[in-house]
Structure 1
Amino acid sequence: MEFSGAAAKSTATGRVAVVTGAAGGIGAALAQRLAQNGARVAITDVNADKLASTAARLTQDHPGAIFAQAGDASSERDLSSLIAETESQFGPVEMFFANAGVGGGVGLDASEHEWGQAIQVNVLGHVRAARLLVPRWIERGGGYFVSTASAAGLITQLGSATYAVSKHGAVAFAEWLAVTYGKQGIKVSCLCPMGVNTDMLTGGDGNSAGAVAQVSAKAVTEAGTVLEPLEVAGIVLDAIRDERFLILPHPEVLDFFQRKTSDYDRWIRGMRRYQEAVA
């Protein structure tokens, strides 16, 4: 993938980017695509061992372009440290990919801890990063915030209430950020994929056991194609080049969303039927 002219300047070439949740999946793929397109990239994840392995792999192909620091993407202290170290290594952060996410609990049996973790990581991690970056971006004349939400943030998620609610929150915050600061040079995109071949979908994150979680995964995989992370990352960079807010790697999500908003009652009935079909 190549960019040229003003599009390249607003996308990756020569830019400093931070990607959270980057030990694997979409985060690692975003870091790879960014580095391939000339960005210097800081990556972070709570899984320090896996992050180190990913950093070593990316550094081999892109010497000097990768900086890794383990941390919690929902912690303002960790985010502040990450941004400071990134700017020490590479210069001012110009692009931030709030990609870290958790699946959380399922149904009404989700614990208070699972609810708290989903809100902290999937929503407040984005808020805290923006709180740290947006004021300095306004002073510098611009910046780009990319939120990884989910199709579940637009058309809900069967099974997991914590995931559906927190991802709706992520979409809402990205919308608010774009509306509130768009005229001050802050660009915002919101990624809402459906099925992507990551540990969260396949169960490798350790949070997908149980019949209800299996229904959630089946609902996603049967609704459309399961994409590879690198495919999604390429689509994200294309969307950033065009400065599109809503990034939908699965085009059918737009159709589902339009049906939902055109007749909510019919959509609720349809989702009930679909839930019964995949159970």
Structure 2
Amino acid sequence: MDLRDRIVVITGAAHGIGAALARRFAAEGARALVLGDLDEDALGRVADDLGAGAAEVVTRRCDVAREDDVADLVAAAEAIGPVDLVCSNAGIGIAGGVEVPDDDWRRIIDINVMAHVYAARAALPAMIERGEGYLLNTASAAGLLTQIGSAPYAVTKHAAVALAEWMAVTHGDQGIRVSVLCPQAVRTNMTAGSEGGGVAGVDGMMEPEEVADAVVAGLAEESFLILPHPEVAEYVRRKATDHDRWLAGMRRLQARYTQPL
């Protein structure tokens, strides 16, 4: 996909990867950016940063756990014209294992999984009708591997990858392209206060702008997997080749990051 003259929706656009995507897409010549986030003040600052550029910028308060909010965001974009790209980007992390309370499990499922369902549900009908459209879901390398210290994050990011795979298979012959973004540690609010990004930063902490560069390159190639940290591809190959060996290696990694100081 060439981003020039495209109409793009981005959720979680007030900070981190979402804000970096908005800035980079504007620089690439997008026609319109429709940005959603719960943090309206920060979202306004992102819009101000984009200035009086060529792109039309629309902002909306959007709680991605609410289907009506996501649908309204997509409708705001459709009021401008056919939506070319929906970046379902918002996400959260919750530490812990199976003991995490049900309410927290439901919250992270709503934000990390159902938000992607809502975005697709809102955008797909018009895209399918005209025979083209692009969905970009932000997941994580945890969705291909796992997340040491967080069962809810690992489970929901796996689900996000699975949903993207299903949509690529089911709608690919209808002109719908799908990519899933799977970075490791990125310098965002989610990693704030974590030394070097914790275990996810084993291959280094990446800046959101670097992730945006990888996204633009991935969209240009229409790659399903967008891996800003290239090491992840090798880890996935190792996992597929010998799952038991990979699990043993992950246990060693866990011991390295959870041993007492």
- Corresponding residue of 2:98: 108
Counterparts of 2:49 and 2:54, CA distance in 1:
10
User: 1:143-162 CA deviation, whole Å, 9 max, x = no partner?
Assistant: 00001000000010000111
Given that 2:196 and 2:205 are in contact with CA atoms closer than 8 Å, whether structure 1 keeps it comes out as no
Given that 2:141 and 2:182 are in contact with CA atoms closer than 8 Å, whether structure 1 keeps it comes out as yes
TM-score by length of structure 2 reads 0.94
- Corresponding residue of 2:74: 83
- The Cα of 1:134 is off from its aligned counterpart by 1.0
Given that 2:71 and 2:118 are in contact with CA atoms closer than 8 Å, whether structure 1 keeps it comes out as no
- Corresponding residue of 1:138: 128
Letter in 2 for 1:119: I
- Corresponding residue of 2:119: 129
Given that 1:160 and 1:216 are in contact with CA atoms closer than 8 Å, whether structure 2 keeps it comes out as no
Q: 2:236 aligns with which of 224, 242, 257?
A: 257
Q: 1:30 aligns with which of 15, 21, 25?
A: 21
Q: 1:218 to 1:163 in 2, by over 3 A?
A: same
Percent same amino acid among aligned pairs? 46
Given that 1:138 and 1:186 are in contact with CA atoms closer than 8 Å, whether structure 2 keeps it comes out as yes
Q: 1:156 to 1:46 in 2, by over 3 A?
A: same
Letter in 1 for 2:46: T
Q: 1:55 aligns with which of 25, 39, 47?
A: 47
Unaligned 5+ runs, structure 1: 1-9, 204-213
Q: 2:212 aligns with which of 233, 239, 247?
A: 233
User: 1:99-154 CA deviation, whole Å, 9 max, x = no partner?
Assistant: 00011242233221211111111111101111111121011120000010000000
- Corresponding residue of 1:218: 198
Counterparts of 1:218 and 1:61, CA distance in 2:
39
- Corresponding residue of 2:64: 73
- Corresponding residue of 1:199: 189
Counterparts of 2:241 and 2:224, CA distance in 1:
21
CA RMSD of superposed structures (Å): 1.6
Counterparts of 2:208 and 2:196, CA distance in 1:
19
Q: Which is helix-richer, 1 or 2?
A: 1
| 1:181 corresponds to 2:171 | yes
Once structures 1 and 2 are overlaid, which stretch shifts more, 32-41 or 168-177? 32-41
- The Cα of 1:97 is off from its aligned counterpart by 0.2
User: 1:167-197 CA deviation, whole Å, 9 max, x = no partner?
Assistant: 0000000000000000100000011000111
Unaligned 5+ runs, structure 2: none
Counterparts of 1:17 and 1:51, CA distance in 2:
15
**SS of equivalent to 2:65:** coil
Given that 1:97 and 1:145 are in contact with CA atoms closer than 8 Å, whether structure 2 keeps it comes out as yes
- Corresponding residue of 1:244: 223
User: Which residues of 2 match residues 5-20 of structure 1 at below 5 A?
Assistant: 10-20=1-11
User: 1:5-39 CA deviation, whole Å, 9 max, x = no partner?
Assistant: xxxxx331111000000101000001111111111
Once structures 1 and 2 are overlaid, which stretch shifts more, 143-152 or 67-76? 67-76
Given that 1:102 and 1:122 are in contact with CA atoms closer than 8 Å, whether structure 2 keeps it comes out as yes
Given that 1:197 and 1:227 are in contact with CA atoms closer than 8 Å, whether structure 2 keeps it comes out as yes
- The Cα of 1:63 is off from its aligned counterpart by 5.6
- The Cα of 1:64 is off from its aligned counterpart by 4.9
Counterparts of 2:218 and 2:55, CA distance in 1:
26
TM-score by length of structure 1 reads 0.88
Q: How many residues align?
A: 257
Q: 1:271 aligns with which of 250, 255, 258?
A: 250
